[in-house]
Amino acid sequence: MTLRSLLFVPGDSPRKLAKGDAAGADALILDLEDSVAPENKAGARPLVSAYLAERPRGARATELWVRINPLDSGYALADLAAVVAGDPDGIMIPKADGPAEVRRLSHYLDALEVQAGLEPGSVGILPVATETAAAPFRLGDYAGAGLTRLRGLTWGAEDLSAAVGASTNLDPEGGWAFTYRLARSLTLLAAHAAGVQAIETLHVDFSDEAGLRESCRRARAEGFTGRIAIHPAQVRPINESFTPSVAEADHARRVVAAFAATPGVGVVGLDGKMLDMPHLKQAHAVLAAWTAFTTGDRADE
């Protein structure tokens, strides 16, 4: 299932956890890492565990993921031991240096799923794949790593800028500086090479809906299929931005119909333009997204 919006929820806040079901996000990321102070981590684990247990996988209104602490932080194994029995849809792993850490996490999950009586391989993994200085150099390795739990790749600029000692990750015009644009582009390519979802990073200013929508529009045009959210107010704009419009769906149907009307032909004309197989593939992708996002429980309109 493609996830348009993935909303972070602090794992140590019962009030914010309680509001999660009503947020409308395709996935909640129950956070045990950055939004939870060290002294609160032990208390957050049972809260997240209980939240999962109260929402069995088949009855959930939204996918439930957990961001654990980095594998070498001293917290990660306790995080996993507390939450895997609740059958989360997936684990987000921060500050992953590359596929080797994802494979290591997968081995942990193999054992914990057996212990909890869960279906083997049912818990997915989503790495934040650019948060260390070494990580961007290994993005291309995800494609051939055989990581069957891998569901997507996302990127982050804040931890990367801290890792390299940068005073800012922005350019003079307020956009991403070159280093972070590079990390973003490599994440997009790596995700598609690995056949998983490319997920855009967060938009820091949660009060800037116009800026969020424009950023989402550009991200979707480039090939990202979803986005991290840090505030419930961002969920609806993200969902709408990553859902094909009525006009896009109508055009895609016309493209498919044009090829269907001339079977065996690799190029057709439509509205004065020549279209070939990549256009047909794109049209099918638009219609698949339209069907997934505008029918049933996930419809926003």
Q: Does one domain contain both 66 and 188?
A: yes
What per-residue confidence (pLDDT) applies to 301? 37
Q: Does one domain contain both 287 and 163?
A: no
| Nearest alpha-carbon partner for 41 in 54, 32, 52 | 32
Domain that holds residue 183: 5-241
Q: Which two tokens stand for residue 84?
A: 């895997």
Q: Does one domain contain both 75 and 210?
A: yes
Q: Does one domain contain both 102 and 220?
A: yes
Q: Does one domain contain both 278 and 169?
A: no
Q: Does one domain contain both 83 and 42?
A: yes
| 150 pLDDT more than 50 | yes
| 2 pLDDT more than 60 | yes
Q: Does one domain contain both 292 and 234?
A: no
- Which of 241, 262, 282 is the last residue before a domain boundary? 241
Render pLDDT for 250-284 as a digit per residue (tens, 0 to 9).
Answer: 888 998 888 888 888 888 888 988 888 888 888 88
Q: What is the DSSP letter of 176?
A: B
What per-residue confidence (pLDDT) applies to 295? 67
- Which of 196, 220, 241 is the last residue before a domain boundary? 241
| 248 pLDDT more than 90 | no
| CATH classification of the domain holding 157 | 3.20.20.60
Across the chain, the runs of DSSP E, i.e. the strands, are 5-10, 27-31, 63-67, 90-93, 124-127, 152-154, 197-200, 226-229, 268-270, 273-275
Q: Does one domain contain both 191 and 124?
A: yes
Render pLDDT for 68-111 as a digit per residue (tens, 0 to 9).
Answer: 999 999 999 999 999 999 999 999 999 999 999 999 999 999 99
Tell if the pTM clears 0.85, that is, is over it. yes
Render pLDDT for 200-242 as a digit per residue (tens, 0 to 9).
Answer: 999 999 999 999 999 999 999 999 999 999 999 999 999 999 9
Q: What is the DSSP letter of 170?
A: B
Q: Does one domain contain both 151 and 230?
A: yes
Instruction: Specify the range with the lowest mean pLDDT, choosing from 178-182, 188-192, 223-227, 284-288.
Output: 284-288
Q: How many domains does the chain divide into?
A: 2
| CATH classification of the domain holding 287 | 3.30.1580
Q: Does one domain contain both 237 and 250?
A: no
Q: Does one domain contain both 170 and 215?
A: yes
The residue with greater pLDDT, 289 or 226, is 226
Q: Does one domain contain both 184 and 268?
A: no
